[in-house]
Amino acid sequence: MRGLSGKPGLKQSLFLACALTASLGLAACSDIDNSFDSLFGGGDETAANAPPDTGTAAETPPPAPAAAPTAGGVPVATITPVTIEPGADTGTAVNKTIQTVRSQVAGLEGKLAANAQRLADLRNGGAAAAGAYQLSKAQITTRLQVGTTKGNPELVAQWNSAQASLDSLSANINALNALGTDIANDSSTAHFALDQIGATFNVSGAVDEDHRQLSLLQDETSQTLVMIDRLLSEVSDAVQRQTSYVANERGSLTVLASAIKDGELYGGTPGITQAAASGGVQLASAGTPLVVIRFDQPNVDYQQILYAALNQALQSRPNAGFEVVAVSPTRGNAASVQIAQTTAARHAQDVMRSMTNMGVPATRLAVGSATDPGAAGSEVRVFVR
């Protein structure tokens, strides 16, 4: 450890203590150099080495750049309207045309800024609606996952809330389409103005100042057209993205509605699927029906495995259709066979109803009937067509 004779080290320590004192809001050690020199001398050396006081404060660091605008927490491109420079009236007929076109382009700039704000507002509204929908959907899924009663009114209310959020997204899409139409009209106007500027260059009776103003206005109009087309592209992307999202989630809501009715979540864990299979449902092998449901006991729980099989089939063939076949045994007298056929037909209708609740369009479903001497009881077989 150095002793008191180590003046530089001690002076550095005193400066550090002074800085700490000032940072804590206490009295600053403004006379630190004088105090140090009075103890150890060297005041002349300190004064000689001290930088001259220029009377100017230290430069303030530049401010941090402003954050990019966001929609739903996601940064979006900034649409900055172009400044349209005014021009002097030269008194020529060409200059009158220039002033008219300049006024049109300036009007487009004002609409460009307003439409950019409309897009930001619609994006924020869409993000809020999607967030509310996902929250309701997550709450429903969680309740179904842990188990609940059939047709639980609390889940029905949450489902209605989720549907209302999707309806808001649909309205948002309609507003985006209207915005896209307005921007497309502005783009047509800007193209017309650009063509008019090009034609005005060939009009006789202009002075050099007129052509200078035309060249400047041509550049400004071209920049405006680029910004309009960029905004139109962003609106188109937003419409496509939200339309696809709403279409997919409509199907999810349909599945959730059926799950709420039954009080259990479809497409569950492998353990649930195995339990359903042991209750009379079997997945058929390749080249045979997609699903075989045997109604050999009351209240056969087939929804889980049926949903999983349909989901897998539609992933492989999104446009696939299905045929639901009611299969009845042929054992017994004529009356017994007739009863078995009626029972199988009723089971087939129940299976078709479950499939439509799971999101399969009715136009993709067909029903049929058959008999099988080897069947022990009523069966429903689902084929992919």
Q: What is the CATH number of the domain that holds 370?
A: 3.30.1330.60
Q: Give yes or no: residues 216 and 232 share one domain.
A: yes
The number of domains in the chain is 3
- pLDDT given for residue 140 in this prediction: 92
Regarding whether 373 and 243 lie in a shared domain, the answer is no
**In-domain check, residue 60:** no
Residues 98 and 172 in one domain: yes
The pLDDT, as a whole number, for residue 173 is 92
- Global pTM value: 0.55
What residues make up the domain containing 238?
A: 89-262
Task: Give yes or no: residues 246 and 99 share one domain.
Answer: yes
The answer to whether residues 36 and 118 belong to one domain is no
The per-residue pLDDT for 256 is 85
Q: What is the CATH number of the domain that holds 181?
A: 1.20.58
Is 76 contained in some domain? no
Whether 309 is covered by a domain: the verdict is yes
Same domain, 222 and 334: no
Residue 335 lies in a domain: yes
Q: What's the 3-state SS for the chain?
A: CCCCCCHHHHHHHHHHHHHHHHHCCCCCCCCHHHHHHHHHCCHHHHHHHCCCCCCCCCCCCCCCCCCCCEECCEECCCCCCCCCCCCCCCCCHHHHHHHHHHHHHHHHHHHHHHHHHHHHHHHHHHHHHHHHHHHHHHHHHHHHHHCCCCCCHHHHHHHHHHHHHHHHHHHHHHHHHHHHHHHHHHHHHHHHHHHHHHHHCCCCCCCHHHHHHHHHHHHHHHHHHHHHHHHHHHHHHHHHHHHHHHHHHHHHHHHHHHHHHHCCCCCCCHHHHHHHHHCCEEECCCCCCCEEEECCCCCCCCHHHHHHHHHHHHHHCCCCCEEEEEEECCCCCHHHHHHHHHHHHHHHHHHHHHHHHCCCCHHHEEEEEEECCCCCCCEEEEEEC
Give the residues of the chain that fall short of pLDDT 70.
1-78, 266-287
Q: Are 229 and 339 in a shared domain? A: no
From 262, 296, 313, give the residue that closes a domain.
262
Q: pLDDT, tens digit, for every residue of 276-293?
A: 333 444 444 445 788 899
pLDDT at 78 (0 to 100) = 64
